[in-house]
Amino acid sequence: MTRLAFHKSLYAGTAVDEAVKTFAPHATFELSETESAWVVQLSAAEPRKELRVARELGNFALGLTVQNRKAAA
């Protein structure tokens, strides 16, 4: 299982949620929250692909966050 923490000052929670939905076919996810971060634990259907799924999820969540901030400006 891989654990990712998305700092709330950098990532929108809605973007993290949308990224998890997008990557749902490739892994199982457990979502939680700390005071400062959105936490995602993932387990890929194929363990050898887990790190790649985690990296792509992070990139996708960041891209959505940037896109949403530009749209709101």
Q: What digits encode the pLDDT tens for the residues 38-73?
A: 999 999 878 889 999 999 999 999 999 998 887 776
Mean pLDDT of 21-36: 95
Contacts of residue 14, defined as CB under 8 A and 6 or more positions apart, other chains included, come to 64, 68
Q: Where would I find the H helices in 2-49?
A: 13-23
Give the CB-side neighbour count of residue 55, counting CA atoms within 13 A.
Answer: 4
Mean pLDDT of 18-22: 96
Q: Which of 53, 48, 5 is nearest to 28 (CA)?
A: 53
Q: Please give the model's pTM, rounded to 2 decimal places.
A: 0.87
Q: Tokens for 26?
A: 């490739």
* Domains along the sequence of the chain with CATH: 2-72 (3.30.1370)
* pLDDT at res. 73: 64
